[in-house]
Chain A
Amino acid sequence: DTEVTQTPKHLVMGMTNKKSLKCEQHMGHRAMYWYKQKAKKPPELMFVYSYEKLSINESVPSRFSPECPNSSLLNLHLHALQPEDSALYLCASSQDVQGNTEAFFGQGTRLTVV
């Protein structure tokens, strides 16, 4: 199984809503990532989890709250988002955070904030 699975695939939410994005992998990877991708732009790193601990937070606003319940799951909790937060949110995983192994990406959640 070389899949990273993200749910939901599409999400429309209002600025006062609370929602969560979910990511799951069963490859035994110990590093998991959240990226934000705007149209025609590269993925932009948000958070890195290593062995279920947050190791990198790229100065992401607190309206995005990551959570790693176990080594296979990664969540991104969303609250009070702005329209400019509309984007494709990609989850990825890799063997570790040493950075010299392939990162596998999920298919993404396309988020629209209205």
Chain B
Amino acid sequence: GENVEQHPSTLSVQEGDSAVIKCTYSDSASNYFPWYKQELGKRPQLIIDIRSNVGEKKDQRIAVTLNKTAKHFSLHITETQPEDSAVYFCAASQNQFYFGTGTSLTVIP
């Protein structure tokens, strides 16, 4: 099965700085890579996703890059705000979702 690794497990940044979270996957058949944000006590919510036929995707302050050859993808958050503080999960999917171990992001005001 698929194995998704995610780093770092915790990340603290000053408000306004950028945050980068990286994931690697093992199965070259995976073709869909979503990123979920989960605030404390709430459900995971999709913030951005990318499919294997695309190398980069951006939505306002959030961007995701995918390197299929190296089997890694990254989440980039620019101009971070305190409300970005949450746990972020990457996932790789072909016929089911395999989640990374999560990154707890803290944005310090």
On whether A42 and B96 interact (CB within 8 A), knowing A90-B43, A105-B45, A106-B43, the answer reads no
The CA of A98 and the CA of B29, in the complex, are separated in Å by 12
On whether A90 and B95 interact (CB within 8 A), knowing A41-B101, A99-B32, A101-B32, the answer reads no
Asked if residues B95 and A97 are in contact (CB atoms below 8 Å), the reply is yes
Asked if residues B102 and A42 are in contact (CB atoms below 8 Å), the reply is yes
Asked if residues A41 and B43 are in contact (CB atoms below 8 Å), the reply is no
Chain B 11-50, CB-CB to A under 8 Å as 1, else 0, gives: 0000000000000000000111010100000111110010
Chain B 81-107, CB-CB to A under 8 Å as 1, else 0, gives: 000000101000111110111101000
The answer to whether B68 has its CB under 8 Å from any CB of chain A is no
B104 to chain A, nearest CB (A): 7
Q: Inside 8 A of A108's CB, which chain B residues have their CB? A: 43
The CA of A97 and the CA of B93, in the complex, are separated in Å by 10
Asked if residues A56 and B104 are in contact (CB atoms below 8 Å), the reply is no
User: Which single member of A97, A100, A102, A107 contacts B31 (CB below 8 Å)?
Assistant: A100
Q: Inside 8 A of B100's CB, which chain A residues have their CB? A: 42
A interface residues, tally (CB under 8 Å): 21
On whether A99 and B42 interact (CB within 8 A), knowing A41-B102, A42-B99, A42-B101, the answer reads no
Which partner residue on chain B sits nearest A90 by CB separation?
B43
Which partner residue on chain B sits nearest A91 by CB separation?
B43
Which partner residue on chain B sits nearest A107 by CB separation?
B43
The CA of A90 and the CA of B43, in the complex, are separated in Å by 8
Q: Inside 8 A of A106's CB, which chain B residues have their CB? A: 43
The CA of A48 and the CA of B96, in the complex, are separated in Å by 8
User: Which single member of B34, B44, B99, B102 contacts A40 (CB below 8 Å)?
Assistant: B102
The CA of A97 and the CA of B49, in the complex, are separated in Å by 16
Most B Cβ at <10 Å: residue of A41, A43, A45, A99: A99
Asked if residues A43 and B49 are in contact (CB atoms below 8 Å), the reply is no
Which A residues have a C-beta under 8 Å from some C-beta of B? 33, 40-43, 45, 48, 56, 90, 97-108
Known: A99-B94, A103-B97. 7 other contacts (CB 8 A): A42-B89, A43-B89, A45-B97, A99-B31, A99-B32, A99-B96, A105-B36
